[in-house]
Amino acid sequence: MRKSFYATSNTIISATVTGNANGEITLSMTAANTANLTPGRSVFDLLITAPSGIKTRVVEGIIVISPGVTR
């Protein structure tokens, strides 16, 4: 995840295949990574690498990070 398409720094989002039969993938982040997020929009994509080395983008989008209210 990056703040823009051109940003050089990124935040890691982990991807785990959770349903081989139906192609389900779960995306997650550590508590340390989410604690460092700043409010605003960020972009992401998910690439799957085949055993042959071919990479395919299967999903992409914008993540909106809202500041917390509860203290």
User: What digits encode the pLDDT tens for the residues 42-53?
Assistant: 999 999 899 999
Q: pLDDT category, 7, cuts 50, 70, 90?
A: very high
Neighbours of 42 (CB within 10 A): 19
Q: pLDDT category, 26, cuts 50, 70, 90?
A: very high
Q: Where are the domains of the chain?
A: 14-65
Q: pLDDT category, 21, cuts 50, 70, 90?
A: confident
Determine how β-strand 14-19 pairs with β-strand 24-28.
Answer: antiparallel
